[in-house]
Amino acid sequence: MKSLIFLSLLILITGCRLTGQALDVPYVPTPTSVVEKMLEISNVGPGDYVIDLGSGDGRIVIAAAQRGAVGHGIDLNPQRVREAEENAMKAGVSERVIFIEGDLFKAEISQATVITMYLLSSVNLRLRSGLFEKLRPGTRIVSHSFSMGEWEADEEVRIDGRNVYYWVIPADVMGQWEWQVNGEKFLMDVKQAFQKIYPQLRAGNRQLDVRQAVLVGERITFSVVDHRNGNHYVFNGLIDNDRITGTTQIRNDKYKAIENWSATLVRR
């Protein structure tokens, strides 16, 4: 009897199942109001593929399906996976979602448009580099209660005493980019820390004034003032590996136009 009590306590304390891997996070469900806020802030809807890492009773993926998305949940605990499948059935969304038993660190997640999670700060930090490796730029991530260290959230809201954090995976724009506008060559050096970018721009031997540089997923925008000729530019483009394609607005006292813009990465 004593040894049975000891074993039960051990399981409770370590979060271990009798067979298999220890849980990295105990099961605590996200309240419904927080689930709805997570899906609202990440704008989940038709066309989305939502993956909940550590999906518990399936509530986040099920609520996402009720908003028109498809997706799946992954949980190490088979009992949670069974509950989630039953809940999906009851909610009438079992044709749109599945729940699988597995380790969230080893999960294939590249198909996601939205990743949801309610884990722990330490687990988020261990996950972070994998999220950058596996997810495409533009993928949205939403986390209940726990942040990602120095990767600051793009948005943070509070609901019923809980924090909800929201990020978009940024494209990698670090390096030197080159392009021409009206026969003039531009060279831009970009330093990057997660979604924050610090561009320095030259045209010929002049340093230009870059303002409001913003990177959201694969989209970059920034304004430029060339004090020598009075030109104002607004650059706006989509990053695809070593190329940016988009448009630039050009404006000065006598002239205004919108032209195609294409930049090439010349050095990482």
Ligand X SMILES: C[S@@+](CC[C@H](N)C(=O)[O-])C[C@H]1O[C@@H](n2cnc3c(N)ncnc32)[C@H](O)[C@@H]1O
- Minimum Å distance from CB 52 to ligand X? 5
Q: Which is nearer to ligand X, 81 or 263 (CB)?
A: 81
Q: Which is nearer to ligand X, 77 or 139 (CB)?
A: 77
Q: Which is nearer to ligand X, 76 or 201 (CB)?
A: 76
| Binding segment (CB under 6 A) for ligand X, from list 3-11, 24-32, 172-180, 185-193 | 24-32
Output the residue with the shortest Cβ distance to ligand X: 54
Site for ligand X in 215-254 (CB under 6 A): none
The pattern of x and - marking residues 47 through 86 that bind ligand X according to CB under 6 A reads -----x-xxx--xx-------------xxxx--x------
Applying CB under 6 A, among 62, 63, 65, 104 the residue interacting with ligand X is 104
3-state secondary structure the chain: CHHHHHHHHHHHHHCCCCCCCCCCCCCCCCCHHHHHHHHHHCCCCCCCEEEEECCCCCHHHHHHHHCCCEEEEEECCHHHHHHHHHHHHHHCCCCCEEEEECCCCCCCCCCCCEEEECCCHHHHHHHHHHHHHHCCCCCEEEEECCCCCCCCCCEEEEECCEEEEEEECCCCCCEEEEEEECCEEEEEEEEEECCEEEEEEEECCEEEEEEEEEEECCEEEEEEEECCCCEEEEEEEEEECCEEEEEEEEECCCCEEEEEEEEEEEEC
Q: Residue 173, interface with ligand X (CB under 6 A)?
A: no
Q: Footprint of ligand X on this chain (CB under 6 A)? A: 23-25, 27-30, 52, 54-56, 59-60, 74-77, 80, 103-105, 118, 144
